[in-house]
């Protein structure tokens, strides 16, 4: 049984800021967003968590191992170094989607994402350390079978990207609807999902669905651990095994 702790990271009042007093240079916005994401990756990653860039103005993190004080330090550090501030909402649930719904509702209850006076909210509860187990987090790491040979070295770079993007769009929707899992594109041909406990058959069904809908062939390695980093490293190793043995689903724990 998983017990995923999810944190919603939302840049406060970001949309209005990007066009006030007039639209800001796109390259500066891109730089700001991607560096903020990189910094959060390090700040959360130093404590065993994973952050996903998602929409960049709304990011989703798996934060088992981070207590509310850790969240407060991260919020303060961003406030000290960026022209924008962030709100954080933390929740836990048996499925990642349930946890995120809870976290989102808590944040929405404090005001709109574009409410000028709603700043640096820190809401929710982290799992107390006594209640943590070594099965709390399940991470599934997907990639595209022979992406380089099939796409990167064959199609033009955008058409390769279309294939991967359609595969991702299909997988993220299926995994959310069927499994209450949250799936994130992380670059290259890689997708990382935070999942509840799922069987090999359920992973196979997801892969088959993507092949059917988007004609993209995926493979997955699954890891289980106390936090995203532990589970994620096992997932990477499982994926290496799947690649070596030419299998579609591999577990490691």
Q: Enumerate residues 117-156 that contact its own copies by CB under 8 A.
A: 148, 152-156
Contact in structure between 40 and 57 (CB atoms under 8 Å): no
Closest listed residue to residue 120, CA positions, set 54, 64, 55, 74 = 74
Taking CB under 8 A as the rule, which mask of x and - marks residues 69-88 in contact with its own copies?
----x--xx-xxxxx-----
Among 2, 3, 5, 8, binds its own copies (CB under 8 A): 8
Q: Does residue 20 interact with its own copies by CB under 8 A?
A: no
Distance of CA 172 to the CA centre of its chain: 11
Q: Does residue 29 interact with its own copies by CB under 8 A?
A: yes
Among 237, 247, 248, 253, binds its own copies (CB under 8 A): 237
Closest listed residue to residue 175, CA positions, set 193, 162, 163 = 193
Q: How far apart are CA 152 and CA 230, in angstroms?
A: 30
Among 114, 133, 215, 241, binds its own copies (CB under 8 A): 114
Contact in structure between 90 and 98 (CB atoms under 8 Å): no
Among 12, 57, 136, 227, binds its own copies (CB under 8 A): 57
Q: Does residue 247 interact with its own copies by CB under 8 A?
A: no
Q: How far is the CB of 35 from its own copies (least distance, A)?
A: 5
Q: Edge to edge, what strands does the sheet with 190-195 contain?
A: 182-187, 190-195, 137-144, 218-225, 249-252
Give the interface segment with its own copies, choosing from 121-129, 130-138, 199-207, 228-236 (CB under 8 A): 228-236
Q: How far apart are CA 250 and CA 252, in angstroms?
A: 7
Among 121, 182, 198, 249, binds its own copies (CB under 8 A): 182
């Amino acid at each position: 049984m998983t017990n995923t702790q999810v944190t919603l990271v939302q840049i406060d009042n970001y949309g209005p800021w990007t066009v006030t007093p007039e639209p800001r240079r796109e390259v500066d916005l891109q730089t700001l967003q991607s560096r903020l994401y990189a910094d959060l990756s390090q700040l959360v990653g130093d404590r065993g968590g994973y952050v996903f860039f998602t929409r960049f103005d709304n990011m989703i993190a798996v934060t088992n191992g981070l207590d509310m004080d850790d969240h407060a330090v991260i919020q303060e550090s961003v406030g000290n170094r960026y022209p924008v501030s962030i709100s954080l909402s933390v929740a836990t649930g048996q499925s990642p989607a349930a946890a995120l719904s809870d976290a989102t509702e808590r944040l929405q209850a404090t005001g709109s994402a574009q409410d000028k006076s709603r700043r640096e909210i820190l809401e929710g509860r982290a799992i107390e350390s006594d209640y943590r187990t070594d099965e709390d987090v399940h991470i599934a790491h997907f990639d595209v079978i022979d992406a380089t040979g099939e796409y990167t070295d064959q199609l033009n770079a955008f058409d390769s990207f279309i294939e991967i993007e359609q595969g991702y769009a299909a997988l993220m929707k299926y995994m959310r609807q069927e499994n209450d899992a949250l799936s994130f594109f992380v670059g290259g041909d890689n997708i990382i999902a935070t999942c509840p406990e799922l069987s090999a058959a359920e992973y196979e069904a997801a892969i088959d669905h993507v092949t059917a809908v988007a004609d993209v062939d995926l493979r997955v390695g699954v890891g289980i651990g106390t936090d995203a980093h532990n589970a994620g490293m096992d997932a990477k190793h499982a994926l290496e095994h799947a690649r070596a043995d030419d299998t579609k689903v591999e577990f490691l724990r």
